Structure 1
Amino acid sequence: MDDHHRDEATSSEGEFGIRDPEAFARNMARALEQIGKAAAAWVEPRERGETPDGGPIAYADVVSTLSEVSRYWLADPARAMEAQTHLLSGYLDIWSRSIRRLSGELEQEVQPSQPDRRFPDEEWSRNPFFDFLRQVYLLTARWADDLVARAEDLDPHTRRKAAFYVRQLSNALSPSNFVLTNPELYRETIAENGANLVRGMTMFAEDMAAGGGTLKLRQSDRAGFSIGRNIAATPGAVVAQNDLCQIIQYEARTAEVARRPILICPPWINKFYILDLNPQKSFIGWLVDQGHTVFVISWVNPDERHADKDWQAYIEEGLVFGLDIVEAATGEAQVDAIGYCVGGTLLAAALPYLKARGDERIRSATLMTAQVDFTHAGDLKVFVDEDQLKALEGMMAAKGYLEGSHMATAFNLLRSGDLIWPYFIDNYLKGKEPLPFDLLYWNADATRMARANHLFYLRNCYLENRLSQGAMEIGGLKVDLRVIDIPVYNLATREDHIAPAESVYAGSRAFGSPVTYVMAGSGHIAGVVNPPDRRKYRYWTGPAPSADLSFEAWQAAARETAGSWWPHWRQWLASHTSDRVPARAVGGSALSLIEPAPGSYVRG
């Protein structure tokens, strides 16, 4: 070994050697004590005969799905040998280069121009041991992905599930997730004599207890936020409520307002205040500043009383109730409606349902990252098939609802490399409290799903894709989007992992009226909640979607504009309604104010 590599090894030994064995042993004992508390929190509900929600992934389904991949490769010995040889050859190549590097024949490898964010520490490439681990892991992960991609006999749903499960396993098994195989974690643990693990395991035990036997991963410091003070703080009042929702009207900030009020139908997965996150990022506040009378539906967090509330109930007791209250408060029968995510899907389904009854009070519809065609619905389809729906129905049978943690975990798993493992490392292994982050505070404020509502949604949309085909039935009526003849503004976001831009585009072709399709930059949340004064991202506009124009062709023809899509939408809305009237008082003369915005339902 030459002097350079000898000095490198000596430096690493000093950096990674335990300095205070007594303090280290004491802290390891304290960390183990906290792990014991976490284990007790996990065991306690099960000893009482309770079965906490295990999350969206059924492990039996993981085994069954990956067995299908194994069956393909093992069915042909030559094919299996080829795959094994390819992996072994890669391992031998890594081993050979590692030996040559240790002997001084090879210099430290140049890092790729786009390094993996899991391996930022220079020891991942400088230290031969950690470099070897990293390369073996990356090779194995790529090999596993390739096995799924090349398993030709798999049906599309099984292949999608297999790719998703393999990705989850690969993310979980990354050497960056373990103290002994992550140089940064190991170095910090030695430097602190394990005190970081004591802090981390204390948080781990607290989060396991907070989740009632399942881990409730903290992603933001919640102490810095208060609903109604610096979250959901736009002034207004609850002007009506029923068992399913409250209707909030916001105070005017301009002398005149648009004649048509705006009614917002937010998703019931999480809470409406993503559109009123803080004064600087509030879409609702911006609408008020632009001279609109704004109403929003604040859905209740359902419990056993709401088990049988289906989509018809959410339309009647949510949207129709909201329309009635808007008319009572303002005297206006015509409304511009906005639906976000699944709230937009509900709004789209409600339009033909209401039209069939002669209710045409909604005169324009804005759908924000909302799907009506689920052909290209992305990885959430992984969680929906007949077996999984049957298991989900059994899970909800006793209580009448699905725990909020279930959907929260599902969304986190879609981006586990960003929303799970970095927090696992920082919280529990580094012992660092997460920073205050309003978006992740909202993300953790999960809501339950009413049984009938959720099963209807999953079956009719994700599993059978009935809405875009005119086959969805609500209250005995088949809803056909082709009868819609009002202006529709359909917003997608380019990096959306929940409502992919291609999926939103496909849905645009299901409506009877011409649709203005716009694609914003970023993802499902940041692409929507993007105030103009932040000057972030960009958006694309192009020709009207049609059966003859593919999504790829639309992208090729689209024009890019820097900044927020909000002003473009406002111009679109103004082109369909331009009348102005004096600003309205909250509740008007007909309604009594129940409580200040954001109301009590959002705190449930």
Structure 2
Amino acid sequence: MTRRSLSASFSLQRQGSGWQGGRQHSYPESGNDNAAAADLLLNAALARWTASVSPAAMAVAYADWLCHLALSPSKQQHLLLQAADSGQRWLHYVEQALRPGLPGEPQPAIEPLAQDRRFEEAAWQRWPFNAISQGFLLQQQWWHRATSGVRGVSRHHGEVVTFTVRQMLDWLAPSNFIATNPVVLDAVLQSGGACLLNGAQKAAADIWRGIVGTNAGANADAPPAYAPGRNLALTPGTVVLRNHLIELIRYAPATPKVHAAPLLIVPAWIMKYYILDLSPHNSLVRYLVEQGHTVYIISWRNPDAEDRELSMEDYRQQGVMAALDAITAQSGARRINAAGYCLGGTLLAIAAAAMARDGDTRLASVTLLAAQVDFTEPGELSLFVDESEVSFLEAGMWERGYLDTRQMAGAFQLLRSNDLIWSRRLREYLLNLPTIDSDLMAWNADATRMPYRMHSEYLRNLFLRNDLANGRYQAGGRAVALTDIETPFFAVGTLSDHVAPWRSVYKLLLLADADVTFLLTSGGHNAGVVSPPGETGRVYQIATHYEDTAYIDPDSWHACVEQHDGSWWPAWAEWLARQAGPLGDPPPPGPMLGEAPGTYIFQR
């Protein structure tokens, strides 16, 4: 047992069997702490070989699927007929492709999904690659039908099987291999094999960086294309509060007059805060300051093993509440608007509910950006969250004291493996194309850790038990309810969000006893939120559900609400201005503990 493991064991023994906030940990059992520590160490060692995926969870999911498939002869017959039909369609396509003299291209046996761009290059229409790609797409369709719709399989297990089979098929796609990808073969011929040699060097450098955890490798000394303080997070401001968990940044006014109520932004601590202050043209913070708002934002500390006991309650108290107290004291404002992004929005909702319960009336409004308060339908992230998976993940976090950055990044990459894993491998390692740099990609690579206790509480209390939506979540030792919040809400969902699906964000309308303005915009979890005016192809819908009006289900809402072209930022700015009060002189600057973007942003 390592010194770190022994320290974690002693910490766990001191901690006891329960944690605040309603979460009851299964380790250690009374009188059996050493055995519990041994169990955790075993699971932690196994997690390093399985990428923190629980073998037990996978075994149970596949057993559920296989057993019920065996008990469904009609499903088996249907799959056999579909296999025969797919084979016949493929043979017919091959026959057409091999017969010379036919006008036009052979009619495809199957069209790829709208988001599948793997076979869109013209080279895939050549023989035999057209037959290979069509055969793969037909197999992919058959496996989707085989893993879904099996009577008796639990919804979660069915989704796990479907997801893992899809990952396997994405790995085996002909686009990923030199011999079956005509685009790669053409590049090899044109470059004389140099593209493969140079791509292999890139791959080796990336693998080495992953092993040693540094920037060692090719171009290690070259400055990154994007970096905070150089061309990211440039909006002028100062750090006005620093504690163990946060730096609070106040941005300098950009207009002679500002609104009376300042705005506090609570970002998620899964990634760095500057997702909302990217390049100047992509900065939501800069845009808000230019609209006459006094903007404050929380920059979270990147925790390490010493912070293993930080809890969700610590993040509420030392984060949101400490920031509100500082803003009130420094600005003299009696009312404050608050906005939370992703997990930061969930924490803000918890804090707002606790404030309403305790009679704290400082919040003038609450904005939730791609943030969930009900976790019954959290999207594909739920595939990684069940009792077995959480217990397995806890073992790895318990040993280190935190969730490693690569685990979280890997989970998000798997949700979009074609775009974030295999297309990058093809582009950089096989075609030797230059890395595509952008401010958003640079931010995405700047991952953070999460404390063991906080992340475990988050997964168990919110994802597994859905305590916040059910009135069981405790803040300050007492339960909170979203129905206590009387301030108006503004909620933003994004159409292709894999992290916080918009229908899940929409559930706020069922839980709030206040006016809720809901806005649905094009894009995903990050690109949908970073939507500056002037970009083409952006659309959004917006409508207000008043407290005394009848509920409209999300699909009906989506079908009947008018669609607008352009960025959603001006629509929110207009709503926010109504909550922020009249224009007046900027408040006093407050203490200056350093220039923005502060110091916590640079912690690696």
Question: In the alignment, what sits opposite 1:554?
Answer: 557
The residue aligned with 1:37 is: none
Counterpart-to-counterpart distance in 1, 2:247 and 2:259: 23
* CA distance 1:465–1:271, shift in 2 (3 Å): same
Question: Does residue 1:137 correspond to 2:136, yes or no?
Answer: yes
Deviation at 1:103, TM superposition (A): 4.3
Q: 1:101 to 1:426 in 2, by over 3 A?
A: closer
Match of 1:285 in 2: 286
Alpha-carbon distance between aligned partners in 1 of 2:242 and 2:481, rounded to the nearest angstrom: 30
- Residue in structure 1 matched with residue 578 of structure 2 by the alignment: 575
Find the aligned partners of 2:181 and 2:338 in 1 and give their Cα distance. Answer: 51
Q: Distance in 1 between matches of 2:183 and 2:59?
A: 33
2:121 is aligned to 121
| CA offset digits 1:514-560 (Å, max 9, x no partner) | 21111122221222111223355121123517774211222233122
The alpha carbon displacement at 1:346 in A equals 0.3
Distance 1:565 1:366 in 2: 13
Q: Which moved more, 1:435-444 or 1:557-566?
A: 557-566
- Which runs of structure 2 are paired with 1:264-303 in the superposition (5 Å)? 264-303=265-304
Q: Could you tell me how far apart the structure 1 residues matched to 2:537 and 2:339 are?
A: 23
- Say whether residues 1:382 and 2:383 are aligned partners: yes
Aligned 8 A contact 1:520 1:565 in 2: yes
Give yes or no for contact 2:483–2:511 (8 Å, CA) kept in 1. Answer: yes
The answer to whether structure 1 residue 564 and structure 2 residue 564 are counterparts is no
Contact 1:130-1:183 within 8 A present in 2 as well: yes
Partner of 2:442: 441
What is the TM-score normalised by the length of structure 2? 0.85
Give, in whole Å, the separation in 1 of the partners of 2:93 and 2:469: 55
Q: Please list, as runs of the form range in 1=range in 2, the aligned pairs for 1:343-362 lying within 5 A after superposition.
A: 343-362=344-363
Amino acid at match of 2:164: Y
Q: Does 1:599 align with 2:602?
A: no
Q: Alpha-carbon deviation of 1:576?
A: 2.6
Paired letter, 2:402:
Y
Of 531-540 and 545-554, the range deviating more from structure 2: 545-554
CA contact (8 A) 2:353 2:482 kept: yes
| Secondary structure in structure 1 of the residue aligned to 2:368 | strand
Contact 1:265 1:344 in 2 (8 A): yes
Question: How far is the alpha carbon of 1:583 from its aligned partner?
Answer: 2.1
For 2:527, the equivalent position in structure 1 comes to 526
Alignment partners' CA distance in 1, 2:524 and 2:269: 19
Residue identity matched to 1:567:
P
Which of residues 41, 61, 73 is equivalent to 2:69?
Answer: 73
1:54 is displaced (CA, Å) by: 5.0
* Residue 62 (structure 1) shift: 3.8
Could you say which residue in structure 2 is the equivalent of 1:394? 395
How far apart, in 2, do the equivalents of 1:281 and 1:383 lie? Answer: 32
CA displacement, residues 369-392 of structure 1 (integer Å, 9 cap, x when unaligned): 110011221111100000000001
Partner Cα distance (2:65, 2:583) in 1: 62
What does residue 100 of structure 2 align with? 104
- Pair 1:114–1:159, CA change in 2 (3 A): closer
The answer as to whether partners of 1:352 and 1:483 remain within 8 angstroms in 2 is: yes
AA at the equivalent of 1:375: T
Q: Where do residues 388-537 of structure 1 align in structure 2 (5 Å cutoff)? A: 388-534=389-535, 536-537=537-538
Could you say which residue in structure 1 is the equivalent of 2:203?
204
Q: In the superposition, relative to structure 1, how do residues 529 and 76 fare at CA in structure 2: closer, same or farther (>3 Å)?
A: closer
Shift of 1:67: 4.0
Q: Deviations over 1:374-418 (max 9, x none)?
A: 122111110000000000110101121001111111111111121
Call closer, same or farther: CA 1:92–1:529 in 2, change over 3 Å. Answer: same
CA contact (8 A) 2:53 2:389 kept: no
Q: For residues 531 and 489 of structure 2, what CA distance do their matches in structure 1 show?
A: 20
Task: Please give the alpha-carbon distance, in whole angstroms, between the structure 2 residues aligned to 1:375 and 1:71.
Answer: 26
Partner of 2:91: 95
Deviation readout 1:113-170 (Å, 9 max, x if unpaired): 987410123232221x212211111111000000122311211111111221122122
Q: Does 1:86 pair with 2:92?
A: no
Q: Distance in 1 between matches of 2:580 and 2:97?
A: 71
C-alpha contact (below 8 Å) 2:275/2:443 kept by paired residues: yes
Deviation at 1:58, TM superposition (A): 4.1
How far 1:580 sits from its partner (Å)?
Answer: 2.2
Residue 384 to residue 222, structure 1, CA distance change in 2 (3 Å): farther
Whether the 8 Å contact between 2:53 and 2:392 is mirrored in structure 1 is no
CA contact (8 A) 2:52 2:396 kept: no
For the 8 Å contact 1:373–1:506, the answer to whether it is kept is yes
Contact 1:236 1:597 in 2 (8 A): yes
User: Could you tell me which amino acid in structure 2 is paired with residue 430 of structure 1?
Assistant: L
Return the offset for 1:584.
3.5
1:182 to 2:178 alignment: no
CA distance in 2 between partners of 1:283 and 1:56 (Å): 35
Please state whether the residue corresponding to 2:354 is helix, strand or coil.
helix
Question: After alignment, is 388-397 or 354-363 more displaced?
Answer: 354-363
Matched with 1:29 is: none
Counterpart Cα distance in 2 of 1:499 and 1:547: 25
- 1:60 positional shift: 5.6
* Cα distance between partner residues in 2 of 1:131 and 1:109: 10
Q: Kindly tell me: are residues 435 and 509 of structure 1, through their superposed partners in 2, closer, same or farther at Cα, counting changes over 3 Å?
A: same
CA contact (8 A) 1:234 1:279 kept: yes
Give the alignment of 1:224-243 within 5 angstroms.
Answer: 224-243=225-244
Unaligned runs of 5+ in 2: 1-44
Separation in 1, partners of 2:420, 2:96:
38
Conserved in 1, the CA contact under 8 Å of 2:229 and 2:597?
yes
Shift of 1:101: 3.5
Shift in Å, 1:187 = 2.0
TM-aligned CA deviation for residue 222 of structure 1:
7.1
Deviation at 1:323, TM superposition (A): 1.0
Does structure 1 conserve the Cα–Cα contact (< 8 Å) formed by 2:93 and 2:131? no
Residues 510, 79 of structure 1: alpha-carbon distance in 2 compared, 3 angstrom cutoff:
closer
Answer whether contact 1:489 1:516 (CA < 8 A) is retained.
yes
Q: Distance in 2 between matches of 1:335 and 1:60?
A: 47
AA matched with 1:380: L
User: CA distance change for structure 1 residues 501 and 76 in 2, over 3 Å: closer, same or farther?
Assistant: closer
Superposition deviation, residue 343 in structure 1:
0.4
Q: 1:215 to 1:297 in 2, by over 3 A?
A: closer
State the identity %.
35
Shift in alpha-carbon separation, 1:538–1:207, aligned structure 2, 3 A: same
Structure 2 residue matching 1:234: 3-state secondary structure? coil
Length, aligned pairs only: 549
Secondary structure, counterpart of 2:506 in structure 1: helix
Distance 1:455 1:94, change over 3 A: same
Whether the 8 Å contact between 2:61 and 2:161 is mirrored in structure 1 is yes
Q: Which amino acid aligns with 1:505?
A: Y
Question: Structure 2 vs 1, CA of residues 291 and 79 (structure 1 numbering), >3 Å: closer, same or farther?
Answer: closer
Partner AA of 1:400 in structure 2: G
**SS of structure 1 residue aligned to 2:429:** helix
Secondary structure in 2 matching 1:337: strand
Residue 101 to residue 285, structure 1, CA distance change in 2 (3 Å): closer
Judge conservation of contact 2:238–2:598 (CA < 8 Å) in 1.
yes
Closer, same or farther in 2 for the Cα pair 1:567/1:102, shift >3 Å?
closer
Alpha carbon RMSD of aligned pairs, Å?
Answer: 2.6
